C-alpha cells in the first residue's frame, strides 16, 4: 500500500503506467486530519513535466485499451465493484481521516460512488450504435460509438471517493484512458482506490494519478493529447476550466458551486420538514453542492419552522469523527476553509440578518476545524449570505409572503443546482417543479442528488458544458459516434456465377 495509516506521514506518489513514482515537484501541500489538525500526508504540487509523463503513459495505454472488447472492459469493472464492496469500510475510514465526515456520511458517499461502478458495468448495452437498412435503395447506415482517447478528471475536496468515481469508471469502460487529479486537500482515498483497480486487472497506464493545484490543472487543460476534461469544483474554477479546456479543443463538462433554495409552504409536515432541513443544511457540515443552504418559508411557515429548527440544530453533537461515531457533524476540511466560512458569518451579521444560532460559539476540545450549526433569520435578497455559496454549516432564511415571491427569489439566483419544496399541495409542488430554474428538483426530499443512473443536471452557474456527469449523458460525453454508409451495388453483370463468393461456395 502506498497510503500509510496511523500517525505516519506519507508523501503522496503519482500513479504513472501502473507504478507509484515520485513527483519532480519541489513544492508540497499538506493534508491534515480535520478532526485533530494533525499532518497526515504531504502532497506534491505537480508541474507540466509530471503531467506530461502521466498523459504519455495514458496515451500509450489507450492504443491497446481501445481494442479490448467492451465486455472484457466491463468484466474488470465487475471485479472492481466486488473489491470496493470488500474494502468499503476501509475506504470510508480513509474519507473520515482526510476529510472529516462522520463515518455514516463517509459510508453513504462511498456507496454512491460504488453505484457508478455498477452503472459502468452496464456500459456494453449503452455503447451500442444504431443501424438502418435501405436508408436509400441498397444503402445501409450504422453508427458505432468510439472512445475519445485520454480523458482527465479534476475533483473537489468534499467527496474524496464519490466525485472521482463519478468519472473514471464510465470513461474507462467506454475505452478511454484516464488521468485523475484529486483535490490536493484529500488525495489519499483516490490512491487507496487505485490499488483496487490494479487488483481488478486494469492494465498499466489506463488509470493514472497526478497531484497538485492550479499549475497541474492548467497543464491538463492545455495538454494536446487530452481529449476531454471532467471537472467538479467551485463556479469560478469551473468557468476557467470550461473556457480554457474548450479553447484548447477539448470536450469539457464542468460542474460548479450552488446555493440551493428550500421552500417551505405553511401546509408542510413541519416535524418531518425540520428533520429533513436540518440534515440537508448541516449534513456533511454543509460541505455539499446539494446542501439546502437557503430556507424560504412562505407566510406562517416561518413561525412554525424556525424556532423548532433552531432548537433541534442546537442539540446536534459536533466533534471529532476519526475515532468517534456518536457525532452528528464533523469539522470543516481545513483551517483556511473554517476561516472563510467564519468570515462569511461575520459578514452576514454585519449586513443585518438575525443570527439566531451562532456556530462560532462552539467549543470543541481539539485542534480540529470545528464550527457549530449556524442559522440566520430575516435575511434579505441582496445580502451576501443569500447570494453567495458559503459551503459550511450555515443556513440563511428569507421570509416571503407567497410562492410567487419564493419562485422569483430562486429564479434570480446565479446558481441552478438543486431546489426543494416542502408541501402537501400538489398544485404548489407542480408550480414549483415546472417554474423553478434549477436542474435538480426535490419535492419533500431534502437533497435531490440523483443516483448513478441519472445525470447530475446542474443549470446556470452550477454547470458549464452540454453533457452532464453521470447517467447516459456520461456515456455520450466519453464517446464519439462514427457513422458508416454502405451501398450494395447491383452487379452490372447479372450472371451470379461471376460472383467470387458464389464461386467459392459452389
- Would you name the residues annotated as active-site residues? 289
Tell me if 230 contacts ligand NAD by CB under 6 A.
Answer: no
Tell me if 32 contacts ligand NAD by CB under 6 A.
Answer: no
Print the SS3 string covering 11-29: ECCEEECCEEECCCCCCEE
Q: Would you say 274 and 307 are in contact if contact means Cβ atoms under 8 Å apart?
A: no
Cβ neighbors of 2 (< 8 A, separation 6 or more) are 10, 12, 13, 20, 191, 195
Which of 24/214 has CB closer to ligand NAD? 214
The least CB distance from residue 60 to ligand NAD, in Å, is 25
Which of 234/437 has CB closer to ligand NAD? 234
Print the SS3 string covering 256-288: CCCCEEEEECCCCCHHHHHHHHHHHHHHHHHCC
Cα separations in angstroms, 5 against 41, 90, 207, 231: 10, 11, 23, 29
Which of residues 23, 158, 260, 278 is near ligand NAD by CB under 6 A? 158
Tell me if 242 contacts ligand NAD by CB under 6 A.
Answer: no
Which of 33/417 has CB closer to ligand NAD? 417
Q: Residue with C-alpha cell 490536493?
A: 184
Q: Which residue is nearest to ligand NAD (CB)?
A: 233
The least CB distance from residue 467 to ligand NAD, in Å, is 14
**Helix residue spans in 361-477 (DSSP H):** 384-387, 403-411, 426-435, 471-477
Binding to ligand NAD in span 199-218, by CB under 6 A: 213-214, 217
The grid coordinates of residue 305 equal: 419552522
Tell me if 233 contacts ligand NAD by CB under 6 A.
Answer: yes
Tell me if 256 contacts ligand NAD by CB under 6 A.
Answer: yes
User: Among the candidate windows 101-109, 265-273, 454-462, 477-485, which touches ligand NAD by CB under 6 A?
Assistant: 454-462
Left (φ > 0), alpha (ψ -120 to 50) or beta: where does 459 sit?
beta
**Strand, helix or coil at 146?**
strand
Tell me the C-alpha distance between 29 and 32, whole Å.
Answer: 10
Interface pattern 398-437 for ligand NAD (x via CB under 6 A): -------------------x--------------------
Tell me if 157 contacts ligand NAD by CB under 6 A.
Answer: yes
Tell me if 109 contacts ligand NAD by CB under 6 A.
Answer: no
Backbone angles phi, psi at 176, to 5 degrees: -90, 165
The least CB distance from residue 235 to ligand NAD, in Å, is 6
Closest CA to 29 of 59, 6, 9, 49: 9
The least CB distance from residue 288 to ligand NAD, in Å, is 7
Tell me if 438 contacts ligand NAD by CB under 6 A.
Answer: no
Residues that bind ligand NAD (CB under 6 A): 154-158, 163, 181, 183-184, 213-214, 217, 232-234, 237, 240, 255-258, 289, 389, 391, 417, 456, 458, 462
Amino acid at each position: 500500500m502506498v497510503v500509510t495509516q496511523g500517525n505516519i506521514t506519507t508523501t503522496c506518489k503519482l500513479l504513472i503506467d501502473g507504478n507509484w513514482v515520485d513527483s519532480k515537484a519541489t513544492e508540497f501541500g499538506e493534508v491534515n486530519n480535520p478532526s485533530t489538525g494533525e499532518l497526515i500526508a504531504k502532497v506534491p504540487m505537480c508541474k507540466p513535466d509530471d503531467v506530461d509523463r502521466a498523459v504519455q503513459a495514458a496515451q500509450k495505454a489507450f492504443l491497446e485499451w481501445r481494442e479490448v472488447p467492451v465486455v472484457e472492459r466491463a468484466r474488470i469493472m465487475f471485479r472492481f465493484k466486488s473489491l470496493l464492496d470488500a474494502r468499503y469500510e476501509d475506504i470510508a475510514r480513509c474519507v473520515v481521516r482526510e476529510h472529516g465526515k462522520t463515518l455514516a456520511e463517509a459510508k453513504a458517499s462511498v456507496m454512491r460512488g460504488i453505484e457508478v461502478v455498477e452503472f459502468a458495468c452496464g456500459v456494453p448495452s449503452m455503447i451500442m450504435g444504431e443501424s438502418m437498412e435501405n436508408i436509400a435503395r441498397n444503402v445501409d447506415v450504422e453508427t458505432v460509438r468510439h472512445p475519445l482517447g485520454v480523458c482527465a478528471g479534476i475533483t473537489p475536496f468534499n467527496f474524496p471517493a464519490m466525485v472521482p468515481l463519478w468519472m473514471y469508471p464510465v470513461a474507462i469502460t467506454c475505452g478511454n484512458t484516464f488521468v485523475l487529479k484529486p483535490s490536493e486537500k484529500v488525495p489519499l482515498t483516490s490512491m487507496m482506490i487505485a490499488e483496487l483497480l490494479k487488483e481488478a486487472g486494469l492494465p498499466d497506464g489506463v488509470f493514472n494519478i497526478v497531484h497538485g493545484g492550479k499549475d497541474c490543472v492548467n497543464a491538463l487543460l492545455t495538454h494536446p493529447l487530452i481529449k476531454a476534461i471532467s471537472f467538479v469544483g467551485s463556479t469560478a474554477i469551473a468557468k476557467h476550466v470550461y473556457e480554457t479546456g474548450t479553447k484548447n479543443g477539448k470536450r469539457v463538462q464542468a460542474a460548479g458551486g450552488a446555493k440551493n433554495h428550500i421552500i417551505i409552504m405553511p401546509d408542510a409536515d413541519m416535524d418531518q420538514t425540520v428533520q429533513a432541513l436540518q440534515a440537508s443544511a448541516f449534513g456533511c457540515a454543509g460541505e455539499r453542492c446539494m446542501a439546502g443552504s437557503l430556507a424560504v418559508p412562505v407566510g406562517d411557515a416561518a413561525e412554525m419552522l424556525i424556532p423548532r429548527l433552531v432548537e433541534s440544530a442546537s442539540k446536534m453533537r459536533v466533534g471529532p469523527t476519526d475515532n468517534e461515531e456518536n457525532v452528528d457533524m464533523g469539522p470543516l476540511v481545513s483551517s483556511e476553509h473554517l476561516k472563510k466560512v467564519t468570515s462569511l458569518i461575520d459578514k452576514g451579521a454585519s449586513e443585518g440578518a438575525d443570527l439566531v444560532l451562532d456556530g462560532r460559539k462552539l467549543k470543541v476540545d481539539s485542534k480540529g476545524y470545528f464550527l457549530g450549526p449556524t442559522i440566520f433569520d430575516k435575511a434579505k435578497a441582496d445580502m451576501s449570505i443569500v447570494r453567495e455559496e458559503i459551503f459550511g454549516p450555515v443556513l440563511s432564511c428569507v421570509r416571503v409572503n407567497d410562492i410567487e415571491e419564493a419562485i422569483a427569489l430562486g429564479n434570480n439566483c446565479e446558481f441552478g443546482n438543486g431546489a426543494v419544496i416542502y408541501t402537501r399541495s400538489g398544485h404548489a409542488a407542480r408550480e414549483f417543479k415546472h417554474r423553478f430554474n434549477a436542474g435538480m428538483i426535490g419535492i419533500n426530499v431534502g437533497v435531490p442528488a440523483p443516483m448513478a443512473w441519472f445525470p447530475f443536471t446542474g443549470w446556470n452557474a452550477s454547470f458549464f458544458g452540454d453533457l452532464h456527469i453521470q447517467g447516459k449523458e456520461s456515456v455520450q460525453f466519453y464517446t464519439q459516434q462514427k457513422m458508416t454508409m454502405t451501398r450494395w451495388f447491383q452487379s452490372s453483370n447479372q450472371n451470379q456465377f461471376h460472383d467470387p463468393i458464389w464461386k467459392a461456395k459452389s
